[in-house]
Amino acid sequence: MKRNHLFIVGIIISTLIGSCTKIEDFLDKPPGIDLNEDIVFSAQVETEKYVATLYQFGMISVFPFRGADVGFGGNLPSSNGGFSFNMSSSLFGTTDEAEASEGFAAEQAWNNGGLTPQNIVPTQDYRYHLRWMGIRVANILLERIDEVPDASVAYKDMVKGEALFIRALNNFEMFKRYGGFPIVNKRIVTFEDSKVPRSTLEAGVNAIIKDCDEAFDKLPLVQPSSFTGRAQKGAALALKARVLLYAASPLFNTNNPPISFGNTEDDKLLCFGNFDNNRWKLAVDAAKAALDWCAANGYALIDDPAKRIPVITPGQRVDGNYRTAWEIPDNREIILSCKIYNTPKNASQFPSQYVLPRSDYVPNSGGFWTAPTVIFNFVRKYEKRDGTPQTWNPAGGNDLVQKYAELDPRFHQTVCYTGARLHSGATRVQIWEGSVSDKARCKGGFWLLKHIPDAITQSGQNFNNPIFRVNEMLLSYAEALNEFSGPTSEAYSAINQIRNRSGMPNLPLGLSKDQFRLRVQNERDIELAFEDHRLSDLRRWRIAQNDGVMQGDFWGLEINRLNMATPFPTEFSYTPFVFERRTFPNQYYYFPYDNNEVLKGNLKQNPGW
Amino acid sequence: MNFDVSKQFKIAIDLSTQLEDRSGNNANTSTIMNWLALANPLGAPSTSQTGNRVVTSLNGTGGNNPYTFLLAEGYKRDFRNLLNGSVRLDHKLDFITNGLNIHGIVAYQNYSRQLDIYRKQLITYRADRLPDNSVLFAQQGDDQPLLFSSSNPNTSQRTTIELALDYKRTFGDHTVTGLLLYNQLKTVDPSFAFGVPNGYQSYVGRVVYDYKNKYLAELSGAYNGTENFAPGERFGFFPSFSLGWVPTAEKFFPRNNILTFLKIRGSFGEVGNDQLSGDFLTNPNSRFLYRPTAYSTNGTFPNSTAGFYYFGEVGSNYARYNAIREGRSNNPFLTWERAQKTNLGIEANLWKDRIMVVVDIFSEERDNILAVPQTVSSLVGTALPAQNLGRMKNKGYEVDVTYRNKIKDFNYWVKANVSYATNIILFQDEITRLFPYQQRTGQRFGQIFGYISEGLYNSWEEVNDPKRPVSTFVGSNRIQPGDIKYRDVNGDGIINFLDEVPIGKPTIPETIFGFSLGANWKGFDLSVLFQGATNVSINYSRLAVQAFYDVNPASAAEYLLESWSQERFDAGLPINFPRLSVGNGTNGFTHNTQTSTFFVEDASYVRLKNMEVGYTLTDNVLKKGKIKSLRVYVNANNLITWTNVLQGIDPETPNLGANFEPYPLVRTVNVGANITF
């Protein structure tokens, strides 16, 4: 009997144990780690994948992007390892180029005086936390690239050059916003390593230039066609030219910043602490070097003489050189472009949603939010075709169609105005009182045309996303040359190349240095409009607080039909009106560091925040 | 099914299955409530007079018409199957010693779910007025085939195995109970991170001793293992013990009618937690945190999808380059988070057991809380490792009092209970904030921080006073009478985040109380239940307090008529809300929508939760009809609520989602009869 019991008990125990393999192994089932850092540097094919991450984390973009576009679950990285926000608007409405239509748009905080150290990351510097991830990738690549056994010296040099370029680019993105920034030139391993303080502005600029110079040494002269989008010597030169242009500009090249810590030592976080005219010489030389590289390697302005002055036919695409330059990806004017928006995007995807108006404001436009509206403050900067300023009657007038027709051909290739073609799905856009784009919805009186591929509502399109272009180098060259040695013939020539290829006459001879400066500034705004230059330019020129620039009255056009002609009215009247007042307090010249990061102790907050 | 194989050996087999097949509109109730709340009387008329057309408004997708939304939502079919099976073997081991038993259980649970959604693009028409005043219906959207989407079948299997020796024997006045148990749990679910099943293992031992129901003692220990920590750190030992004493059972205790029963008990124990976050199984960012830092090409990177970049010229050799990323840094020393719980209780019966009182006081201290550091600069550029950081304390009490009595045929009882629980964060890796009052450490977990409202600006004099603190919210340069006046806590002349202080109580009540009474008399019975809560706050959802919220023309609650306006102010009418302003529209004005004491309100309430009156007939008349008894009753739920929260919001279960309309409370009255044959 007893034996029998033991037998049954034995069965119970053995059945249970048998059903769970080995008790001691029960928990030991974590996935193996097949891919670690050593593997990344064990073969060139693996390293190449890490280089893809270098670009995905490290490239800047004309349009903002969302977490999903850089391979994050949905949101962008935020402080403390979180992923908590996304950019829902283009940021174009921050300046005098446009007005964000949606109330939730990040730009409103700039226009309203609502910018704070809490919202700086979600309202402008959305890459802040991602930027350090990109710099970490660059530092790890520089640390370990020499270990890759099957890579050639040429390959290793190229990757070193790319890492240095991306690090310099991201440090420049810090410098232009914050002034002095923490220089992180190696991988941070310990908590103590992470407490990097801000360097002086001068040390920051020097670090960027050093990286640019080293990148130039290591990078290939040009990249093969299949590597378009990867940095080459020209990218390092173009970045260096931009950095030195900014460094020479009044915001930084001074001992008297627009807002001060109150002592000269701390003010070196904001500016050089002195004015040195030679900084303009460095900018001239850097721009010249970039232009020389372009000329020697087939990079040039797109200038088809037949398309300088395009024919304007209602309902038709305005096919000019300027449009070709922004619409066609990888054209010869582009030194380096961003390919974060890697695949063709349709009208309901980003970046389309940053630029298209809502479909109920422009039927068939494809937008579910509303793009910025271009404002009158911007449109009135366009000269007439003869190179003289357009005259707009402050009280309004009945000759709107004629006014538009007289403008610089680039106006017709940048702005979508009443009766113009937005894209193939909206060929004659209705903007007037009584239409769905009235002054309440389309406050500026214009929608944005630039960046929108004509076939966007038909199929997915690759958006052009240029970071460095030949035209920027010409404008920078002209600007720096004028500051250093006045309006020389080279300065004239640089500007006139840009004007001529869009059918605009040469600048008048005999301009003074100050007059020439104003013309260059205007030219830069017209030519590089909506390419994420304006906010930085206005700050470095120290003109952001001027009336109508980022402060004061902001104007739109109220447009009315003067007849009911079919299929489209033929005459319109305009009346300028103030749609809002903006403020630009002095502390806006230097961005506030994210409050959460400041409280961690290593970063000194900028004055006024 | 139970099989008694022998006196010593029993087998029990349980098998159950639960099938659910739900179908209906694809929208759920709270979504529909939300639509109803958003619906604007001036919105689109869903169907036009001319023909069977669904018409949308000019500037909205349907003008927030719930009917339009409902049509567009489609049809859903949700099929769920839950299968449970277990086999339990029990064997007495009396041949070793009396009272010893061994049992083993193998249990298996299988869950599967399939959700199918059928929807069709809703064709809507926009009504456009043409210059000649005629109306044109412009079709919006193209006719498209019926869309069918089916979720991946969601399945999971769970296997539990238990093997235990238990022992129970009484030796005279001594009763001893003992238990030795091994338990393992394995769950297989394709949604788990890395596709790896989840396992837990535990060994439990317990000894309970009881002397004449006078002295009670219990000692137990659990040795738990989790896969979340490295070998060497994954097992944790969690002991606990308790003691009890019943003085009224002592010989020396005088028998009396005032204190008939008294029991004093106390316990101390430890429990563990191995989870960084609630989604630790499905989130690769929270699972197996001890593993060496991994690199990956796909979604196993924190919060990521596959990374890639494109190189090449668009239109010719444009090609995708897959990317590798660095994962979360590891922490091989990660181990169990521990909570030490102490409990002290008294049970007493008074006045011939008419009054029964139970009082418990508890305190819990959590240590080694699993968290990600918050004070390390983001310059690091990678996801930081989880650590055993953080300490927290919970404490509180519970009191239950019951009184029962009868006067002849009249039986009645009254019960009251109150419980209180609060917590405080003792340590967390928190940045040092500029002002000590902003520190989260030292506050309750989840404390609301916001501005202190000092009422509204009522005149331009107040608004234009140069001494008025400058407000820094979006649109703050347009402050007008009727806007909220916030307190400048740090006195710097600026209203900004530095003026945010802890405001209000927690959103989960700290104090919950109940009161019930009942009686019966000659067939009549009555019961009443009140319940309530206090030490609780509500932070109103945007839809509740912002009129016409949303870019589409939404609606507004009637109480928002009491918003500030010059006319109301001049007439001395009650004003409970700031002036109407567009918070989210084209002229963004967010000054009045900050979290502040203006909208964080005391959500205490008392509710007559349930009331029932019945009468039971046991008449001889009934017996002739072969009915044993008949009870008729009326009962009502949620009859009356006394509270300060806005109308339409249930303080018991407020919906705190910022964009959601609160789901209204349902009041029910039932009339019924129970017949027993």
B260-289 pLDDT, tens digit per residue, is 899 999 999 999 988 877 777 877 777 888
Tens of pLDDT, residue by residue over A417-431, are: 999 999 998 999 999
How far apart are the CA of B57 and the nearest CA of chain A, in angstroms?
10
Residue A215 pLDDT: 98
Residue B667 pLDDT: 84
Tens of pLDDT, residue by residue over A447-460, are: 999 999 999 988 89
CB B324 to CB A50 under 8 A?
yes
How far apart are the CA of A484 and the nearest CA of chain B, in angstroms?
37
Map residue B77 onto helix, strand or coil. Answer: strand
Q: What is the mean pLDDT of residues B561-582?
A: 90
Determine the residue among B101, B311, B320 to mutate to test chain A binding: the one whose Cβ has the most chain A Cβ atoms within 10 Å: B311
Tens of pLDDT, residue by residue over A488-514, are: 999 999 999 999 999 999 999 999 999
Q: What is the distance of C-alpha B120 from the center of its chain?
A: 35
User: What is the C-alpha radius of gyration for chain B, rounded to an integer number of angstroms?
Assistant: 33
Q: Which residue has the tokens 């080459």?
A: A232
Q: Give the one of B291, B322, B497 whose C-beta lies nearest to A116's C-beta.
A: B497
Chain A (462-491) residues lying within 8 Å, Cβ to Cβ, of chain B: 462
Instruction: State the DSSP code for A588.
Output: G
Judged by average pLDDT, the poorest of A261-275, A528-542, A591-605, B137-151 is: B137-151
Q: Which residue has the tokens 């506050």?
A: B443
Residue A81 pLDDT: 75
Name the nearest CA neighbour of A446 among A397, A382, A356, A376: A376
Instruction: Compute the distance between CA of residue B234 and CA of residue B323 in angstroms, rounded to an integer.
Output: 33
Residue B583 pLDDT: 57
Judged by average pLDDT, the poorest of A72-81, B228-237, B502-511 is: A72-81
How far apart are the CA of B209 and the nearest CA of chain A, in angstroms?
27
Angle among Cα A68, A70, A75 to the nearest 5 degrees reads: 45
How far apart are the CA of B619 and the nearest CA of chain A, in angstroms?
58
Q: Give the one of B372, B383, B472 whose C-beta lies nearest to A116's C-beta.
A: B472
**Chain A residues touching B86 at Cβ < 8 A:** none
Q: Beta partners for B538?
A: B601
Residue B256 pLDDT: 84
CB A329 to CB B314 under 8 A?
yes
Residue A20 has pLDDT above 50, yes or no: no
Tens of pLDDT, residue by residue over B641-656, are: 898 888 878 888 765 5
Nearest CA in chain B to A38: B295
Q: What is the mean pLDDT of residues A7-28?
A: 56
**Chain A residues touching B553 at Cβ < 8 A:** none
CB A31 to CB B194 under 8 A?
yes
**Chain B residues touching A129 at Cβ < 8 A:** 378
Residue A21 pLDDT: 47
Q: What is the mean pLDDT of residues B539-549?
A: 78
CB A52 to CB B321 under 8 A?
yes
Confidence category of residue A144, pLDDT binned at 50, 70, 90: very high
CB B474 to CB A112 under 8 A?
yes
Name the nearest CA neighbour of A73 among A83, A63, A64: A83
Q: What is the mean pLDDT of residues A345-374?
A: 87
Cβ-based neighbours of A230, under 8 Å, separated by 6 or more:
A55, A162, A223, B311
Angle among Cα A344, A346, A349 to the nearest 5 degrees reads: 100
Give yes or no for A5 touching B (CB within 8 A).
yes
Give yes or no for A603 touching B (CB within 8 A).
yes
Nearest CA in chain A to B226: A27
Cβ-based neighbours of A82, under 8 Å, separated by 6 or more:
none
**Chain B residues touching A580 at Cβ < 8 A:** 587
Q: What is the mean pLDDT of residues B616-633?
A: 77
Q: Classify burial at B150, counting beta carbons within 10 Å of its beta carbon; exposed 0-12, middle 13-18, buried 19 or more.
A: exposed
Instruction: Compute the distance between CA of residue B498 and CA of residue B487 in angstroms, rounded to an integer.
Output: 11
Judged by average pLDDT, the poorest of A123-137, A372-386, B297-311, B654-668 is: B654-668
Q: What is the mean pLDDT of residues B541-567?
A: 78
Residue A1 pLDDT: 44
Tens of pLDDT, residue by residue over B179-226, are: 999 999 988 888 787 778 888 889 999 999 999 888 999 999 999 988
Tens of pLDDT, residue by residue over B393-413, are: 999 999 999 999 988 889 999
CB B474 to CB A329 under 8 A?
no
> Comparing A25 with B551, which gets the higher pLDDT?
A25
Mean pLDDT of chain B: 84
Confidence category of residue B59, pLDDT binned at 50, 70, 90: very low
Provide the sign of the torsion angle of the four alpha carbons A322, A323, A324, A326, taken in this order. positive
Instruction: State the DSSP code for B9.
Output: E
Judged by average pLDDT, the poorest of A98-107, A130-139, A405-414, B355-364 is: A98-107
Q: Which residue has the tokens 């472009």?
A: A337
Q: Beta partners for B116?
A: B77, B150
Give yes or no for A56 touching B (CB within 8 A).
yes
